[in-house]
């Protein structure tokens, strides 16, 4: 708690260090200097720069070394505290290259008057004084390294947090796009079936009321199915709906039954050894078939459509062909075809859609399935 408080109030620390250095330096000059009127101002001059040590660490070091040399030169008792604090500050607030150079120059400059003062035979005393200054620098350098390490950790944590937020936003956008495609497939297919059935019921309402009643029943069943799937999708967004399985290849019979009820004769052929597909691919295969048959109902004026699923060891080939008017099935730029192409591309597959030379329209897709 105390350390955190001191870190939040650095000026208080600077003033405290200045007052401590000033008291000890002036005290030493007053007690041991023959001319106090000279020694005390020099002692003050050695301590006063410490108030600016954070802003100008190297100049403050020089400003403390010079008065210390003067004190040593005139024979007064010097106090190593101001220089030690300045060396600590250089090590803590300058890059290592700058602090090494400044510290080495300061020690070299101080070594001469200290050696002169100690005299011959007192080399150990000189070495001890210089080591004390070096230790002050080492402590400052250690503090700087620790601070940089902490800052690097904080920066990394912030970067990871930003990346996590970005990933979450991307996941939300992908989920919204997925739900949008699901809604498009459900609504487009169901409404297409309902419109075709309603038109058929209107045409035969007077002449064949039993056929009109059958069409109305198909409309009701299609609408109920669409409402159920819409509730599942929208309930998933709100989070208050039970999880229900997504449709897949196993649900193609129900889809074909709906389309047949709308008046389009659909056959399904399965070739190869049928194997379980990954859930995402299973859903996409269903949606591609659903969208292709929906386009046939809406645009192609076709009477027959053929769906072929060809299982292979490395993937699944899908083909939907109708005998309708190819030009009426779209140019390949509609939202439905774009959605199908995106679904297939998501798994690294291939997709093609276009008119056949012999007539009709064909949609082909390949879903690669790894081991």
CATH number, domain with residue 271: 3.30.565.10
Q: How many domains does the chain have?
A: 2
Cβ atoms of residues 34 and 9 within 8 Å? no
Does a structural domain hold residue 186? no
pLDDT at res. 132: 84
Environment class of 268 (CB within 10 Å of its CB; exposed 0-12, middle 13-18, buried 19+): middle
Which segments of the chain have a pLDDT < 50? 2, 6, 241, 243, 328, 330-332
Domain containing 333: what range?
247-371
**Tokens standing for residue 245:** 């399985």
C-alpha span between 67 and 46 (Å, rounded): 5
In a domain, 31, yes or no: yes
CA contacts within 13 A on the Cβ side of 167:
6
Q: Is residue 188 in a domain?
A: no
Residue 25 lies in a domain: yes
| The residue count for the chain | 371
211 in a structural domain: no
Predicted pLDDT at 84: 87
Segments in 239-278 forming alpha helices (H)? 252-261
pLDDT of amino acid 308:
94
Q: Decide if 364 is inside a domain.
A: yes
Instruction: Output the six-digit token pair for 56.
Output: 């100008």
pLDDT score at 307 = 94
Q: Is residue 331 part of a domain?
A: yes
Instruction: Give domain status of residue 190, yes or no.
Output: no
Residues 164-220: tens digit of each pLDDT: 777 777 766 776 676 667 666 666 666 677 777 777 777 777 777 777 777 777 777
| pTM for this prediction | 0.45
d(CA 218, CA 199): 12
SS3 322: strand
Looking from the CA of 352 toward its CB, the CA atoms found within 13 Å total: 9
Domain end (from 83, 118, 153): 118
| Per-residue model confidence (pLDDT) at position 269 | 92
The pLDDT tens digits of the residues spanning 24-42 come to: 777 766 665 555 666 677 7
Q: Check residue 343 and give its pLDDT.
A: 81
**Domain boundary pick from 118, 140, 166:** 118
Q: Which of 93, 118, 143 is the last residue of a domain?
A: 118
pLDDT of 232: 65
């Amino acid at each position: 708690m105390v350390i955190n408080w001191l870190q939040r109030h650095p000026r208080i620390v600077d003033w405290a260090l200045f007052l401590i250095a000033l008291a000890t330096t002036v005290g030493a000059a007053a007690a041991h200097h023959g001319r106090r009127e000279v020694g005390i101002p020099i002692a003050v001059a050695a301590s006063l720069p410490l108030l600016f040590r954070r802003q100008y660490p190297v100049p403050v070091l020089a400003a403390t070394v010079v008065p210390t040399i003067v004190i040593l030169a005139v024979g007064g008792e010097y106090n190593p505290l101001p220089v030690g604090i300045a060396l600590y500050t250089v090590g803590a607030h300058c890059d290592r290259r700058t602090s090494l150079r400044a510290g080495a120059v300061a020690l070299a400059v101080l070594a001469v008057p200290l050696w002169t003062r100690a005299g011959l035979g007192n080399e150990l005393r000189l070495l001890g004084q210089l080591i004390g200054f070096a230790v002050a620098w080492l402590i400052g350098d250690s503090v700087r390294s620790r601070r940089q390490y902490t800052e690097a950790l904080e920066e990394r944590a912030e970067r990871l947090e930003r990346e996590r937020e970005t990933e979450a936003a991307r996941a939300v956008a992908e989920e919204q796009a997925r739900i949008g495609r699901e809604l498009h497939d459900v609504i487009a297919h169901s409404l297409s079936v309902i419109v075709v059935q309603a038109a058929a019921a209107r045409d035969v309402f007077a002449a064949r009321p039993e056929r009109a009643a059958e069409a109305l029943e198909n409309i009701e069943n299609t609408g109920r199915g669409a409402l159920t799937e819409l509730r599942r999708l929208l309930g998933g967004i709100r989070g208050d709906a039970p999880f229900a399985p997504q449709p897949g290849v196993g649900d193609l019979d129900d889809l074909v039954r709906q389309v047949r009820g709308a008046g389009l004769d659909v056959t399904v052929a399965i070739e190869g050894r049928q194997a379980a597909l990954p859930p995402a691919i299973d859903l996409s295969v269903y949606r591609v078939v659903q969208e292709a048959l929906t386009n046939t109902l809406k645009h192609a004026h076709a009477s027959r459509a053929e769906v072929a699923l060809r299982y292979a060891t490395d993937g699944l080939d899908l083909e939907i062909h109708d005998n309708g008017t190819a030009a009426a099935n779209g140019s390949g730029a509609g939202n439905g075809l774009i959605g199908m192409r995106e679904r297939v591309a998501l798994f690294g597959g291939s997709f093609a859609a276009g008119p056949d030379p012999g007539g009709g329209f064909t949609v082909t897709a390949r879903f690669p399935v790894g081991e």
